[in-house]
């Protein structure tokens, strides 16, 4: 195939999900020529007009809008003495693809971490005596203050039409919200979604036990919303097809609904789909990038020169592209030198399923984000040091969907035969969940690098993940089991089943947890321990910016998207205000 | 009931219905769902496009035991809902299994927590699994699986599910466990039972009607606030059938 060189642009954006679309619109609004390259296909409104998305088999089983393992598998092993094996099918996580990325089919829980979550190392040093935590734990602070980042959280929440109850307005604790949230400069843009039956039951039981539940903060909007870019998002109709589905009602904030309409109208923005970026090309001094090489839809190799390169693919693939391009030194877990690949973290889930003969939960009448949660068990808000572990969880009763293939059946129900069929008929629509979404700390020997054995369809090495549960995370699971068990008991179900990780559990790649993989190219104050500075700028190659979950030095209990939006917007602002005038490192090492 | 009437009337109706779009099918005495059910192929007349004749007999017999007809409730069985047609058509589709990363080497002895490490596509799993189960029943019962009694079929499927008593490695296949084949067959059977009827199974939306799932209605602004009240409306499908 031909080699093509394109005209130089100011900014090339690699990956058109949340991070890529936000970076594109912010830099295009500053007058820059922005060109985005998206590996997957176009995803536009006709593709998800009613009733097309109301199809559990296509979207939830066959993963219609996800990347395929065939294209972007990673390899996984539990420790560095093993040979890693590829994720031949998705299991524990499932990355998105195409315009909008995972932002098109996310569950749309839009929540901030707490100020303590963002200064976790500081908290550990203050609250934990030496020797309590595992020696190999490597948590870090995010390299900004609450006051610096808060306006960008709010800006992203305005873009999304965040719906929920305010808990802390400029230091004043308000009823109905999260009393543990960091001070907000402004209330939530929109009121909370409607509560479903499970919400009401969970809220009552949790409150009685002394916890502080509040509605899941949501980017499925509760009222019609016009955002700062001029895009309009329709009020959610609780269709029940949300997480893993594109929104059929234009109600879920996504790159499509919240950004792309305005962005596509800008003459200085263009984008190309089925454009697979394989390498960032550096100048000879390795201090700046010249542009990127990609393969277009016809298989041509194309060089796109650019003054600024934004890597805004999913976390795993941002790290892989940095490793393939020689941006930043690869991490070595023995010497702990190098930065690209370190501080990888995942997260765990679990919980209880409660069955009630006399209750119809109508769980298909829901928004993806519908639920109630509490943050009482988050770092700094309970006695983690006394219990001997670091971390926490959001404990929630969410009702993301009521589709039948996802239906839970009581313990003891056969998985096939007459017992299965009768159990399904008897118990469908009669269960609710109490769930945990946990923190996950980072460790010396948990990391990402390039796999020596398995390659993609172009012969390039796959990304390799070395990951397993550590004792700290399993102790946390055991503690949460007790709390969830008590709430469940309070609700007095006819039967229930519990699912928590036992001590000694291995990471199970067959059970979906969440696609909240983080770290690997983290932001920090020190170029020896972080790949990026606080503006997501590579310490080594100053015209490369890498927004995404890759920047988190460990995983907090909050869902990641609010923070990805906030740090991306803060980086975009720094590029506009400082980098354009004076291209070079925005932070002196 | 119309649907229980002799086949002549059924054939007459089908002949006149098949020319019409589904949205025009609601007329006197016949709901769209009933019409759609009649428009769906008869399992007995269906010619499989993926499975061979022997494999098809196995699929009919096995899915009938995985989701049997009858029982306490009103839920239909796999054969009444055309689940075998769903499986046949899915396996025939070029997309089915095309998403799997198939580059070797394969470590078939990896722990189950490492996920799918089988050097087979799902299509190859079916072909291999059916052949080996039939081989086992031939040596132990001198019959193919589909000719066994109901109790024998259930006993064989239990062995296949649990890797207990039927060892694919002992039958010459090191790369596939009986339980892996069972897992694929069971999940495809449930998907066919509960998926939208346009994929060939869940004929007449009867599985949805039985459990009370409203299908593709997908609009509940007024209903979300009605707590613990049974939802009154039947399902609709992606092609516009309603019941």
With H, G, I as helix, E, B as strand and everything else as coil, classify residue B215: strand
Q: Which of A175, A183, A257, A243 is nearest to A215 (CA)?
A: A175
A238 touches chain B (CB under 8 A): yes
Q: Is A430 a catalytic residue?
A: no
At residue B29, the pLDDT reads 56
3-state secondary structure B66-79: HCCCCCCCCCCCCC
How would DSSP label each residue in A484-515? HHHHHHHH--SEEEEE-PPTTPPP-TTS---S
Q: Which of A279, A237, A205, A234 is nearest to A484 (CA)?
A: A205
Stretches where chain A sits below pLDDT 70 are: 1
Q: Which of A94, A404, A414, A431 to mutate to test the interface with B (most CBs of B within 10 A)?
A: A404
Count Cβ atoms below 10 Å from residue A49 Cβ, excluding itself.
Answer: 12
The CA-atom distances, in angstroms, between A506 and each of A344, A372, A470 are 17, 30, 9
Q: Alpha-carbon distance A141 to A587, whole Å?
A: 16
Count Cβ atoms below 10 Å from residue A125 Cβ, excluding itself.
Answer: 11
* Per-residue tokens: A506: 């291995």
Q: Which of A356, A351, A354 is nearest to A496 (CA)?
A: A354
Residues of chain A contacting residue B219, judged by C-beta atoms under 8 Å apart: 237-239, 249
Q: Alpha-carbon distance B7 to A65, whole Å?
A: 43
Residues whose CB is less than 8 angstroms from the CB of residue B8 and which lie 6 or more positions away in sequence, other chains included: none
Q: Is the pLDDT of residue B167 over 50?
A: yes
- Check A105, A212, A516, A542 and give the catalytic one: A516
CA of B228 vs chain A CAs: smallest distance (Å): 5
Q: What is the ipTM of this complex?
A: 0.96
Q: Which of B67, B112, B115 to mutate to test the interface with A (most CBs of A within 10 A)?
A: B115
B220 and A240 within 8 Å at the Cβ level: the answer is yes
CA of A484 vs chain B CAs: smallest distance (Å): 23
At residue B27, the pLDDT reads 47
A248 and B105 within 8 Å at the Cβ level: the answer is no
Judge contact between A232 and A258, C-beta under 8 A.
Answer: no
Residues of chain A contacting residue B238, judged by C-beta atoms under 8 Å apart: 51-52, 54-55
A454 touches chain B (CB under 8 A): yes
Instruction: Please report which residue ranges of A46-134 form alpha helices under DSSP H.
Output: 56, 69-72, 115-118, 120-127
Residues 303-362 of A with CB under 8 A from B: 359-362
CA of B58 vs chain A CAs: smallest distance (Å): 16
With H, G, I as helix, E, B as strand and everything else as coil, classify residue A102: helix
Going by pLDDT thresholds of 50, 70 and 90, the confidence category of residue B38 is low
Residues of chain B contacting residue A61, judged by C-beta atoms under 8 Å apart: 191, 195
Q: Is the peptide bond before A51 cis (omega within 30 degrees of 0)?
A: yes
Residues whose CB is less than 8 angstroms from the CB of residue A264 and which lie 6 or more positions away in sequence, other chains included: none
Residues of chain B contacting residue A52, judged by C-beta atoms under 8 Å apart: 238
Q: Is the pLDDT of residue B26 over 60?
A: no
B111 and A200 within 8 Å at the Cβ level: the answer is no
At residue A312, the pLDDT reads 98
A416 and B161 within 8 Å at the Cβ level: the answer is yes
Cα pseudo-dihedral A27, A33, A38, A44, rounded to 10: 80
Going by pLDDT thresholds of 50, 70 and 90, the confidence category of residue B25 is very low
At residue B32, the pLDDT reads 65
Residues of chain B contacting residue A365, judged by C-beta atoms under 8 Å apart: 220, 223-224, 231
**What does pLDDT average to over chain B?**
89
Q: Which of A240, A359, A426 sits opposite B228 (nearest CB)?
A: A359
- Strands A371-374 and A461-466: what pairing? unpaired
Going by pLDDT thresholds of 50, 70 and 90, the confidence category of residue B8 is very low
Please state the rounded mean pLDDT for residues B28-55: 82
Q: Which of A54, A61, A421 sits opposite B238 (nearest CB)?
A: A54
At residue B3, the pLDDT reads 37
What is the chain B residue with the closest CA to A247? B218
A411 by Cβ neighbours in 10 Å (0-12 / 13-18 / 19+) ranks as exposed
Q: Which of A73, A239, A422 sits opposite B219 (nearest CB)?
A: A239
At residue A416, the pLDDT reads 98
Q: Alpha-carbon distance A284 to A406, whole Å?
A: 53
B218 and A54 within 8 Å at the Cβ level: the answer is yes
B195 and A57 within 8 Å at the Cβ level: the answer is yes
Q: Which of A364, A407, A510 sits opposite B115 (nearest CB)?
A: A510
Q: Alpha-carbon distance A496 to A411, whole Å?
A: 7
At residue B11, the pLDDT reads 43
A429 and B212 within 8 Å at the Cβ level: the answer is yes
What is the chain A residue with the closest CA to B95? A62
Q: Which of A578, A571, A531, A528 is nearest to A547 (CA)?
A: A571
Buried b vs exposed e over A70-99: b needs ≥16 C-beta within 10 Å? bbbbbbbbbeeeeebbbbbbbbbbbbbbbb
A404 and B157 within 8 Å at the Cβ level: the answer is no
Residues 85-114 of A with CB under 8 A from B: 85-89, 91
Residues of chain B contacting residue A73, judged by C-beta atoms under 8 Å apart: 101
At residue B16, the pLDDT reads 43
Please give the model's pTM, rounded to 2 decimal places. Answer: 0.95
What is the chain A residue with the closest CA to B70? A418
A88 and B115 within 8 Å at the Cβ level: the answer is yes
Phi, psi of A98 (to 5 degrees): 80, 170
Residues of chain A contacting residue B66, judged by C-beta atoms under 8 Å apart: 416-417, 420
Going by pLDDT thresholds of 50, 70 and 90, the confidence category of residue B40 is confident
At residue B30, the pLDDT reads 63
A452 touches chain B (CB under 8 A): no
- Strands A349-355 and A172-173: what pairing? unpaired
At residue B41, the pLDDT reads 83
């Amino acid at each position: 195939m031909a080699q093509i060189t394109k005209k130089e642009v100011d900014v090339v954006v690699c990956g058109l999900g949340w991070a890529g679309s936000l970076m594109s619109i912010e830099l295009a609004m500053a007058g820059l020529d922005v060109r985005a390259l998206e590996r997957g296909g176009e995803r536009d409104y006709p593709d998800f007009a009613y009733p097309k998305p109301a199809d559990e088999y296509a979207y939830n089983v066959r993963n219609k809008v996800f990347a395929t393992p065939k294209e972007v598998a990673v390899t996984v092993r539990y420790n560095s003495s093993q040979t890693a094996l590829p994720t031949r099918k998705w299991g524990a996580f499932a990355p998105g693809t195409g315009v909008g990325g995972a932002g098109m089919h996310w569950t749309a829980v839009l929540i901030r971490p707490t100020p303590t979550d963002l200064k976790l190392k500081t908290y550990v040093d203050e609250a934990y005596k030496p020797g309590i935590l595992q020696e190999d734990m490597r948590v870090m602070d995010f390299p900004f203050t609450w006051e610096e980042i808060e306006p960008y959280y709010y800006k992203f929440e305005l873009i999304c039409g965040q719906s929920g109850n305010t808990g802390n307005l400029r230091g004043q604790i308000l009823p109905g919200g999260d009393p543990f949230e960091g001070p907000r400069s402004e209330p939530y843009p929109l009121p909370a979604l409607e509560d479903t039956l499970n919400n009401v039951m969970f809220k009552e039981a949790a409150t009685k036990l002394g916890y502080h539940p509040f509605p899941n903060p949501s980017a499925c909007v509760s009222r019609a919303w016009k955002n700062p870019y001029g895009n309009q998002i329709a009020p959610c109709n609780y269709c029940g097809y949300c997480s893993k589905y594109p929104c059929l009602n234009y109600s879920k904030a996504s790159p499509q609904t919240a950004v792309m309409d305005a962005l596509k109208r800008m003459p200085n923005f263009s984008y190309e789909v089925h454009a697979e970026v394989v390498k960032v090309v550096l100048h000879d001094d390795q201090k700046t990038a010249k542009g990127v090489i990609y393969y277009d839809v016809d298989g041509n190799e194309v060089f796109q020169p650019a003054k600024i390169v934004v890597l805004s693919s999913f976390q795993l693939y941002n790290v892989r592209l940095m490793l393939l391009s020689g941006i930043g030194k690869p991490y070595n877990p023995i010497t702990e030198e190098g930065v690209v690949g370190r501080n990888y973290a995942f997260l765990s889930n679990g919980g209880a399923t409660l069955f009630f003969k006399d209750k119809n939960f109508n769980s298909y009448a829901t928004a993806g984000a519908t639920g109630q949660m509490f943050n009482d068990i988050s770092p700094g808000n309970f006695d983690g040091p006394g219990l001997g572990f670091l971390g926490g969880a959001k404990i929630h009763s969410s009702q993301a969907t009521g589709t039948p293939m996802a239906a839970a059946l009581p313990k003891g129900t056969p998985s096939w035969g007459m017992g299965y069929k009768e159990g399904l008929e008897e118990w469908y629509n009669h269960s609710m969940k109490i769930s945990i979404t946990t923190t996950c700390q980072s460790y010396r020997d948990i990391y990402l690098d390039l796999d020596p054995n398995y390659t993609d369809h172009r012969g390039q090495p796959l990304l390799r993940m070395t990951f397993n549960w550590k004792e700290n995370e399993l102790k946390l699971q055991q503690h949460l089991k007790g709390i969830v068990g008590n709430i469940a008991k309070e609700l007095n179900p006819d039967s229930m089943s519990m699912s928590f990780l036992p001590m000694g559990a291995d990471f199970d790649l067959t059970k979906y947890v969440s696609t909240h993989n983080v770290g690997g190219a983290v932001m920090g104050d020190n170029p020896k321990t972080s790949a990026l500075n606080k503006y997501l700028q590579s310490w080594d190659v100053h015209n490369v910016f890498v927004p995404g979950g890759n920047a988190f030095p460990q995983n907090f209990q909050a869902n990641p998207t609010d923070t990805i939006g906030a740090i991306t917007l803060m980086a975009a602002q720094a590029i506009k205000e400082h980098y354009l005038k004076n291209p070079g490192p925005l932070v002196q090492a | 009931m119309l649907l229980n009437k002799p086949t002549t009337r059924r054939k007459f109706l089908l002949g006149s219905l098949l020319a019409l779009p589904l949205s025009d099918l609601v007329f006197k005495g016949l709901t769209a769902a009933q019409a759609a059910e009649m428009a769906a192929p008869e399992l007995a007349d269906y010619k499989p496009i993926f499975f061979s004749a022997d494999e098809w007999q196995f699929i009919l017999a096995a899915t009938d035991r995985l989701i049997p007809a009858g029982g306490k409730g009103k839920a239909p069985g796999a054969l009444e809902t055309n689940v075998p047609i769903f499986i046949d058509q899915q396996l025939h589709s070029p997309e089915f299994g095309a998403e799997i990363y198939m580059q070797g080497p394969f470590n078939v002895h990896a722990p189950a927590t490492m996920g799918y490490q089988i050097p087979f596509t799902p299509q190859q799993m079916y072909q291999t699994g059916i052949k080996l189960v039939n081989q086992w029943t031939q040596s132990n019962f001198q019959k193919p699986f589909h000719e066994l009694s109901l109790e024998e079929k259930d006993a064989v499927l239990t062995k296949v599910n649990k890797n207990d008593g039927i060892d694919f490695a002992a039958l010459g296949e090191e790369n596939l466990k009986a339980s892996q084949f069972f897992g694929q067959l069971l999940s495809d059977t449930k998907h066919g039972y509960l998926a939208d009827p346009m994929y060939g199974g869940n004929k007449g939306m009867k599985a949805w009607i039985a459990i009370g799932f409203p299908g593709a209605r997908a609009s509940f602004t007024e209903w979300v606030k009605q707590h613990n009240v049974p939802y009154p409306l039947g399902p609709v499908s992606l092609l516009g059938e309603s019941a």
